[in-house]
A and B are shown apart, each in its own frame.
Chain A
Amino acid sequence: MYGYSGRILHIDLTDRKTWVEKKPESWYKMYIGGVSMASRLLWENIEVGCDPLSPGNPICIANGIFAGTPVPVGGKYGLASKSPLTGFIGDSLSGSWFSIALKRATWDGLVIHGASESWVNVFVDDERVQFRDATQLLGLDTFETEEAIREEMGDDQVRSATIGPSGENMVRYANVTNDGRQAGRTGHGMVWGSKKLKALSVRGTHGVTVADPDTLMQLSFDITQAAQGPHTSKYRLLGTATNVLNMNRLGLLPTRNFQEGVFEDAELVSGEYLDAHHKVKIIACAQCPIACEQMSAVKTGPYTGAMTGIEYECLFSNGPNCGINDMRAVIKLIDLCDRSGMDAMSNGVIVSWTMETFERGVFTKEDFKCKKYPEGFEPYFGNGEAAVTLTEMIRDREGIGNILAEGTRRASAQIDAERGTETYKWAMNIKGLENPGYDARGLKTFSVGLAVGTRGGCHNRTAAYDPDIKGRVDRFSIDDTRGKLARSTEEYAAVYDTLPLCKFIRRCFTGKADRAGAWPTIAKLINATTGWDYDYDDVELIGERAHTIKKAFNIREGWTRADDHLPYRWHHDPMTKGPSAGHVVTEEELEYLKDLYYEAKGWTNDGLIPKQKLIDLGMDDVAEEIGV
């Protein structure tokens, strides 16, 4: 078998023991890698119905099929646990060296069970596993933790996935970080914190071989060359931050907690402004010839020295969405989140909820007493220092930060219960996961793509905004094509998330990003790596199976049709300004779109999966458990 070792490493933190599970080639052909294989490992290993913070919720890591080869942007792994934020599947991806080290250590996946009594750094050193005391790493930020471990091991090729202080403090949207990249969303860092797992380190010294190296080298060289051209210029030159002005023009840039879709100071927090005033260097993940990470630094003012990579999602959420027009405060906020190991997207949305709650008079200055400001402070929209202080309080669970660290859904529910208010009406989340930076009131296809998302409010698992923004459909109205579009775009994304390949490469195969442009080359890459004989249809099935196993997991954890929802605001509060003003997604529209989507998927009207559908996908054991 090429491309895989056929072995999954199980690690039990409770009893500090390990065992090896062998998987047949047929299993890999079904689930491939990345989020699909990680979700399948979770399906097989979780105690059904468990508390996400209990020892019965395993950490499942699945490597990428192309990790450790020159296939561009193939250095990624998938990470899955039951999400403490949503109670459903938490599946994430992260790029760079960690996946490559794991590949060279010859493990296709890791499953970490149980919980440790004391803080631990699990070190997978090729075949050996060490449970190392992590006490001396506590309190270190994500970057410091990785460096401290490399220093301790004396080998700069040791790669670690870690949690920062917010993971240690069990912030509900804490991340897992490796090599400056994050396995973000859904709160993996809190799961790791619940197991007292500070870091997972890997050293792999074995060479990686593939079935047909000549073909793989030729294909990879051609894609590498194509990745220097116009197909990636958006990512290479300004990065995704260029979306700020694009979204603003469409009236879709979430502003002041999604109250509006245009921000009057968008220029000041745009990718163009970032490039002119803050850009230090553009860097890449390991194995990536594109390089999209726009490393940006603060050079003046109180946040001088803060530096991190700036992408659109973190920029919208901590910038316009908090009414902040000072790029220096935005960089500081994102740097703070990255170092603390928490999701900068969710953070911006919980801070904006706090600001709106303050401006509406539910919160007062006294609610924000803290060590830094003993008399409290006033977190009105646009107050960058207040946002920074709130983020520090969340990281440390200090004062009101202890409530905000629970995310928008739980924080609003707690405040509403205590004070008899209705702050849930502006808590911008789906299934508990804070929303991404595209206002779905002006993107009707995207609205259903988001609502049905298996991990909640996430733009990365559905590309349903694409037909809306490209103008292939009228983005303000609905029709009976939208269910099929939502299905098609989510399964398209799932192919990339499963291999995994970074989606930024999608135009570099032939110049066209659609299935016809990409799937034939992806099939050739799979075949040259593994020796299989995959074709277009097989690639298409990768996406459907990946999405199905995640959905099946949610169903088994108690999902019902009512869980596919949108935030209250998107149903009831139209925006007043810009090209998307006046629109909402009515509840009737959403229910109709869900009908269409379930039908397009071949599911029941309740959103459940027929047994035969699962059997047709080769997932007989899943059919047995949750098929109807």
Chain B
Amino acid sequence: MVTSTSKYQYITCDPQKCIGCQICEYVCSYTKTGEYNTYRSRIRTVRVEEVLMTAVACRTCENAPCIIACTRDALTQDPETGVIRVDADRCDGCAWCIEACDFGAISINPLTKLAEICDQCEDEADGPQCVKWCPKEALELTTPDRRAQRARHKLATEDLLGS
């Protein structure tokens, strides 16, 4: 399984909790474009079987392959937050960043033909809107460290309670 390589925060989805409703995609596209359009969402849901589903957004990798792949230096990473920004003047929509991303977390805007990447709603006072709206709390803004802590807690609880 591909996991994050990041020290930064990123948006993750718990596939056990995800119900496949796509509300994250509606809210993302509305926040970024003023329209509801899952083709314009920077978080993407995927359902491979009836009961296997999740959502994927940028994992803010360190040494991000998308940045390395970009031949026009259009992508840069914020050293504080890890958010990857697209310089619209430099991007020509060649899609090498899309091919480089192991998570399938980058998409091309069908209108402008330029790359779009999750920025964790850094302009929104209450943080990522997909996380705010997710009806089953499947989405969260987290780091690998915090996920590891939780995994240890869960393991300990199961061992102690035997459930």
Q: Do the two shown chains form a genuine complex with each other? A: yes
List residues of chain A with CB under 8 Å of any chain B CB: 68-70, 97, 100, 104, 143, 156-157, 180, 205-209, 213, 217, 221, 224-225, 227-228, 280-291, 295, 307
Q: How far is the CB of B67 from chain A (nearest CB, A)?
A: 27
Kindly list chain A residues whose C-beta atoms are within 8 Å of the C-beta of B22.
97, 286-287
Q: CB of B36 within 8 A of chain A?
A: yes
Kindly list chain B residues whose C-beta atoms are within 8 Å of the C-beta of A69.
26, 36
Q: B46 touching A156 by the CB < 8 A rule?
A: yes
Q: B19 touching A284 by the CB < 8 A rule?
A: yes
Q: CB of B35 within 8 A of chain A?
A: yes
Q: How far is the CA of A558 from the CA of B69 in the complex (A)?
A: 69
Closest to B36 in A: A208
Kindly list chain B residues whose C-beta atoms are within 8 Å of the C-beta of A97.
22
Q: A287 touching B50 by the CB < 8 A rule?
A: no
Q: A207 touching B50 by the CB < 8 A rule?
A: no
Q: A157 touching B19 by the CB < 8 A rule?
A: no
List residues of chain B with CB under 8 Å of any chain A CB: 16, 19-23, 26-27, 29-30, 33-40, 46, 50-51, 53, 110, 133, 135-136
Q: B21 touching A295 by the CB < 8 A rule?
A: no
- Known contacts A180-B50, A213-B30, A286-B20; decide if A206 and B37 are in contact (CB<8 Å): yes
Q: A224 touching B51 by the CB < 8 A rule?
A: no
Q: A287 touching B23 by the CB < 8 A rule?
A: yes
Q: How far is the CA of A283 from the CA of B15 in the complex (A)?
A: 11
Q: How far is the CB of A531 from chain B (nearest CB, A)?
A: 16
Kindly list chain B residues whose C-beta atoms are within 8 Å of the C-beta of A290.
135
Q: A70 touching B110 by the CB < 8 A rule?
A: no
Kindly list chain A residues whose C-beta atoms are within 8 Å of the C-beta of B21.
284-289, 291
Kindly list chain A residues whose C-beta atoms are within 8 Å of the C-beta of B110.
205
Which of B16, B27, B33, B35 neighbours the largest number of chain A CB atoms within 10 Å of its CB? B35
Q: A217 touching B23 by the CB < 8 A rule?
A: no
Main secondary structure of the interface of A (DSSP, over half): loop
- 16 new A-B pairs (CB below 8 Å) besides A224-B23, A291-B136, A307-B51? A68-B26, A69-B36, A70-B133, A143-B50, A157-B38, A205-B37, A206-B37, A207-B37, A209-B36, A224-B133, A224-B135, A284-B20, A284-B21, A286-B21, A287-B26, A295-B51
Q: Which of A143, A180, A208, A284 contacts B35 (CB 8 A)?
A: A208
Kindly list chain B residues whose C-beta atoms are within 8 Å of the C-beta of A70.
23, 26-27, 30, 36, 133
Q: How far is the CA of A206 from the CA of B36 in the complex (A)?
A: 9
Kindly list chain A residues whose C-beta atoms are within 8 Å of the C-beta of B135.
224-225, 227-228, 289-291
Q: How far is the CA of A122 from the CA of B39 in the complex (A)?
A: 22
Contacts A/B (CB < 8 Å), 21 sampled: A68-B26, A70-B133, A104-B37, A143-B50, A207-B37, A209-B35, A217-B30, A221-B133, A224-B135, A225-B135, A228-B135, A281-B16, A283-B19, A283-B50, A283-B51, A284-B21, A291-B21, A291-B135, A295-B51, A307-B50, A307-B51
Closest to B52 in A: A281
Q: How far is the CA of A156 from the CA of B136 in the complex (A)?
A: 24
Q: Which of B20, B27, B36, B133 contacts A283 (CB 8 A)?
A: B20
Q: How far is the CA of A85 from the CA of B158 in the complex (A)?
A: 54
Kindly list chain B residues whose C-beta atoms are within 8 Å of the C-beta of A213.
30, 34
Q: How far is the CB of A306 from chain B (nearest CB, A)?
A: 12
- Known contacts A224-B135, A281-B51; decide if A291 and B19 are in contact (CB<8 Å): yes
Q: How far is the CA of A206 from the CA of B111 in the complex (A)?
A: 10
Q: How far is the CB of B18 from chain A (nearest CB, A)?
A: 9
Q: A209 touching B34 by the CB < 8 A rule?
A: yes
- Known contacts A207-B40, A208-B36, A224-B133; decide if A289 and B23 are in contact (CB<8 Å): yes
Q: How far is the CB of A154 from chain B (nearest CB, A)?
A: 14
Q: A207 touching B36 by the CB < 8 A rule?
A: yes
Closest to B39 in A: A205
Q: How far is the CB of B109 from chain A (nearest CB, A)?
A: 11
Kindly list chain A residues whose C-beta atoms are within 8 Å of the C-beta of B33.
207
Q: B23 touching A68 by the CB < 8 A rule?
A: no
Q: How far is the CB of B100 from chain A (nearest CB, A)?
A: 20
Q: B35 touching A207 by the CB < 8 A rule?
A: yes
Q: A68 touching B36 by the CB < 8 A rule?
A: yes
Q: How far is the CA of A282 from the CA of B16 in the complex (A)?
A: 9
Q: How far is the CB of B9 from chain A (nearest CB, A)?
A: 23
- Known contacts A180-B50, A224-B133, A227-B135; decide if A208 and B20 are in contact (CB<8 Å): no
Kindly list chain A residues whose C-beta atoms are within 8 Å of the C-beta of B27.
70
Kindly list chain A residues whose C-beta atoms are within 8 Å of the C-beta of B30.
70, 213, 217
Q: How far is the CB of A375 from chain B (nearest CB, A)?
A: 37
Q: How far is the CA of A520 from the CA of B59 in the complex (A)?
A: 43
Kindly list chain A residues whose C-beta atoms are within 8 Å of the C-beta of B53.
283
Closest to B29 in A: A207
In the A-B complex, the 6 residue pairs with the smallest Cβ-Cβ separation, listed nearest first, are A207-B35, A289-B135, A207-B37, A284-B19, A291-B19, A208-B36
Q: How far is the CA of A295 from the CA of B53 in the complex (A)?
A: 13
Closest to B40 in A: A207
Kindly list chain B residues whose C-beta atoms are within 8 Å of the C-beta of A286.
20-22
Kindly list chain B residues whose C-beta atoms are within 8 Å of the C-beta of A156.
46
Q: How far is the CB of B89 from chain A (nearest CB, A)?
A: 24
Closest to B46 in A: A156
Q: How far is the CA of A213 from the CA of B135 in the complex (A)?
A: 20
Q: How far is the CB of A281 from chain B (nearest CB, A)?
A: 4
Q: How far is the CA of A282 from the CA of B21 in the complex (A)?
A: 11
Kindly list chain A residues whose C-beta atoms are within 8 Å of the C-beta of B26.
68-70, 287
Q: How far is the CB of B43 from chain A (nearest CB, A)?
A: 14
Q: How far is the CA of A285 from the CA of B19 in the complex (A)?
A: 8
Kindly list chain B residues whose C-beta atoms are within 8 Å of the C-beta of A205.
37, 39, 110
